[in-house]
Structure 1
């Protein structure tokens, strides 16, 4: 299905646009202006002659040219007439922010809406959703979205709130979003339609999905299989419990099926099911990092024996191996540290030397030479660094980034902090995180998050 005009519309009409941000509406018209959308914009509202400095039109029939996309935020009782008007205009797509359909039990109105769209040669996004975002065409449903180039991530969300949260956290984690669709009730265009488009989209390297129900199981699984053949798909399933399914029904009219069957089918097609929103974000960050792990043999280094033991346990539980380093590599590591409260085997415990970024970098380079290691995970304790060596926090991270760039193997840093009420420590964390992310590294706050993400992405890459 050709959805190009949906993501790259040259002309947009916003039906129900208004000057203010109140009344339960989303300021889609102002969003597009703020994003400096370059195409033609037509606000439609009979109550206003002008909206945000642009001439307004009393109806869609009065818009002087055919538009590619209609964004409708009008009461549900006007939805049928809006679709008919879009058909007369020649618009191929209508996004309905409007709610009041199957999610509240109004099945007949939703059915009539789809039938009218079919007769009018119009395709529908929604209803009951916040619509479409595309970095390249500069259309958005989120005022905070700041495109960083074209981006390389696609997102599909049945919930407007989850979709908005994904955009916001993507920005804070420097995950470069290319396209997103909040698709709501999926009365017409469905999850599998958007996913099939993502499968063929060369700009999208990884996709994330929040889904409450699937309307056409075989079509969805076919689209999923095509996508995961070349790019990872991370999925969070809403309504995976009986109580959650009941909540989903009142949210988007979703009829959630058996989660075990759904999860098994997704796994067979190469999709990755996660339990939390944060796991989904972690995996998207790793999936789009500069280099992915090619094997499950991990080299871990840091300061502290207890942390090393805990990391080893977590790694073992998810199938990550931690081979003993070769003697030559251990000898090279030992050149920079004393043989007191340290271990060079793997995990590498550098003791207090682990607070020195230069020694961490030296150790990373040594581990990079070991043929039995696939990925290196350095652990940085921000509590100790900011307490005992704060002068290193300004220059040390750059040393690590430059070292990682020289290495053959991927590096996945862990920035650990345990004091949660120290603003200076949080400032250092944000600065280090930003520097590493801009350098293409995935960065994690805890060893468990890092281990989970690495093992999950390896299941996808090994299963292709």
Structure 2
């Protein structure tokens, strides 16, 4: 059956192409829908009034009548749709009116007749569609239909094709999901039937790349099923050339030589006649360098790069790091294409051009024009922008964050985020990957790399351009709803990536996630010395999708043993501000001891009784003690107080606790990010 349906649709598309059309007619859409099992109502094509009357008589009850014209895509705008037609006289009148309206709308339009379609019962309108995204390719979409859906743009996207489970997840991903389950006495819809419409559309566009858009609008969902009242299919006007891809093993081999080089050659025009530079022997050409070279770092003007790259190719150097600007970023696309051609011909992978360089700290490598950085650790950071790269460097230095690498990507003429992600996913030194990106050259390759990496370590992305204008000149309702950021948001989430809302968030997540143990359940407990902080921390817990534990009576009684009568158990546990260090310690111990509690959020209030460093030292000591006993739970802390809390927070960060001064939001945001990764990795 699979082969038959492909042949059926292929013949349809070939016919449309041969006739110079970019859209299928309604009867063709019906054939396509039947081939893929997309549920649509019964219908017939009437070429004259008598055929319309006969067709309507074969359907029990009222019918819908629609113009059939390859030149009239927007049938309603053309006055080409009449709903609820019943009886021979009404059918005749509707037929004539539709033809007249269509000719008035487009006098030269080819008219094949009128589609007579059985009228569907009332139900919940939804829209199922697919679009071709420039980054991710074929993407399937689901949105609540009707006026409300159009106003809210309550839409969700997935890469096509989707599985049955992924299709079902889309129904829960819209803000209006409860409407589908039934509200205010109204029965819920057949969710499986709706999900099947999504799955089948996604398979259709995956099988036929030349289909640019599909629109089932509306799909009428009822407790007994889901049926598309109208199907629109638009063909691409031209094919998009595919990007060159490399096998995973080839990527890892090249990246290993880039990130763990045994030898690096710097190609520099600043002093071409020198015999040595800073104690290193200088050569007139890279071809004169003895032995193998893993990386060539280019620090020469753009106009000289091509010739030097040819020499690097003759030397069989596998990686070229192109620091100079002056390429595609200023409109010099031909010059950039030339160096890409040279690199492909010689088997060289290119990093850049237009970058600040890169750091590989575990190799003591600083191949950049920026200041050195050598604090080794588990965080790999990348950026498409040099300015953001400097911000990353300054943040790492200020916070004493240990990094495995900092990499600039610039124009991404070749190497890009999916190459780096593939490497960092396997790199034993890297525990968390954080990436600033403005675009993705190949969204599907990135998703593939992310899906392979996320089960092993967190991936954090800061995607710039959240306010980008949505798809322009879209030929369908689905296309009009597909804005760049909406697609990125859903598909990055689908890949298990943690999306950071801002630069500081990305950097803080990257710093915090390797510190926090993986939670083993969803029960979060707040212990605070300030009622006000407790309220704000509770809000933050809810905002970040976490759950405050309902404290059972025995645990409530246990906490009450350590707090004063005017304090409050429950959750948050308010120990009040005047308590000595022993109260903080006792309640934190209880939170770590009880297996029903999975994560602790601490709210500290600066007092003379318990100074900041005393709180930090006791918390770090208790956490370390429990970790030695095999009890590892995420502990985050918010410290409110005078400037001494800053030192206390740094002390905690260096000893396994994620702590921030002057904020209740940041520690909980970091905890929420850890939970999002744990869920995506299948660890909760």
TM-score range, shorter chain: 0.7 to 0.9
Residue deviations 1:150-179, cap 9 Å, x none?
A: x22222221122223223323433432112
1:457 aligns with 2:674: yes
Q: 1:91 aligns to what? A: 317
Secondary structure of the equivalent of 2:674? helix
User: Which of these residues, 570, 574, 582, is aligned with residue 349 of structure 1?
Assistant: 574
C-alpha contact (below 8 Å) 1:6/1:69 kept by paired residues: yes
Q: 2:330 aligns to what? A: 104
- State TM-score, norm by structure 1: 0.82
Shift of 1:394: 4.4
Shift of 1:331: 3.5
Secondary structure of the equivalent of 1:181? strand
1:147 aligns with 2:366: no
Query: How far, CA to CA, are the matches of 1:92 and 1:409 in structure 2?
Result: 43
Query: How far, CA to CA, are the matches of 1:331 and 1:215 in structure 2?
Result: 57
Larger radius of gyration: 2
Q: 1:375 aligns to what? A: 599
- State TM-score, norm by structure 2: 0.57
Unaligned runs of 5+ in 1: 19-44, 244-256, 419-424
Query: How far, CA to CA, are the matches of 1:68 and 1:177 in structure 2?
Result: 22
C-alpha contact (below 8 Å) 1:17/1:51 kept by paired residues: no
C-alpha contact (below 8 Å) 2:585/2:618 kept by paired residues: yes
Shift of 1:371: 4.1
Change in Cα spacing, 1:324 to 1:66, as seen in structure 2 (3 Å) is closer
Residue deviations 1:265-322, cap 9 Å, x none?
A: 1111111111101111222233201513233321111122222122222322333222
Query: How far, CA to CA, are the matches of 2:563 and 2:489 in structure 1?
Result: 48
Unaligned runs of 5+ in 2: 1-250, 470-482
Residue deviations 1:201-256, cap 9 Å, x none?
A: 2332221111111111221211111111221110001222238xxxxxxxxxxxxx
C-alpha contact (below 8 Å) 2:636/2:657 kept by paired residues: yes
Residue deviations 1:82-101, cap 9 Å, x none?
A: 10111122211110100111
| RMSD, aligned α-carbons | 2.4
User: Which of these residues, 12, 15, 22, is aligned with residue 264 of structure 2?
Assistant: 12
User: Which of these residues, 407, 412, 435, is aligned with residue 635 of structure 2?
Assistant: 412
Question: Which has the higher mean CA deviation after the structures are superposed, 138-147 or 205-214?
Answer: 138-147
C-alpha contact (below 8 Å) 1:286/1:292 kept by paired residues: no
Alignment map for 1:266-285 (pairs within 5 Å):
266-285=492-511
Query: How far, CA to CA, are the matches of 1:352 and 1:437 in structure 2?
Result: 23
1:441 aligns with 2:650: no
Alignment map for 1:33-432 (pairs within 5 Å):
45-140=271-366, 141=368, 142-148=370-376, 151-242=377-468, 258-340=484-566, 342-354=567-579, 356-381=580-605, 384-385=606-607, 388-389=608-609, 392-407=611-626, 408-417=631-640, 425-426=642-643, 428-432=644-648
Query: How far, CA to CA, are the matches of 1:438 and 1:412 in structure 2?
Result: 13
Query: How far, CA to CA, are the matches of 1:156 and 1:394 in structure 2?
Result: 34
Shift of 1:411: 4.2
Secondary structure of the equivalent of 2:617? helix
Change in Cα spacing, 1:119 to 1:463, as seen in structure 2 (3 Å) is closer
Shift of 1:133: 1.6
Query: How far, CA to CA, are the matches of 2:282 and 2:296 in structure 1?
Result: 14
Query: How far, CA to CA, are the matches of 2:523 and 2:461 in structure 1?
Result: 26
Question: Which has the higher mean CA deviation after the structures are superposed, 320-329 or 223-232?
Answer: 320-329
Secondary structure of the equivalent of 2:451? helix
C-alpha contact (below 8 Å) 1:5/1:68 kept by paired residues: yes
The size of the alignment, in residue pairs, is 411
Secondary structure of the equivalent of 2:297? strand
Query: How far, CA to CA, are the matches of 1:54 and 1:374 in structure 2?
Result: 55
Shift of 1:328: 3.6
Secondary structure of the equivalent of 1:71? strand
C-alpha contact (below 8 Å) 2:620/2:656 kept by paired residues: no
Query: How far, CA to CA, are the matches of 2:394 and 2:634 in structure 1?
Result: 26
Q: Comparing both chains, which one has the higher relative contact order based on Cα–Cα distances under 8 Å and sequence gaps of 6 or more?
A: 1
Structure with more of its chain in strand, by fraction: 2
Query: How far, CA to CA, are the matches of 2:451 and 2:285 in structure 1?
Result: 43
Query: How far, CA to CA, are the matches of 1:318 and 1:122 in structure 2?
Result: 44
Question: Which has the higher mean CA deviation after the structures are superposed, 396-405 or 261-270?
Answer: 396-405
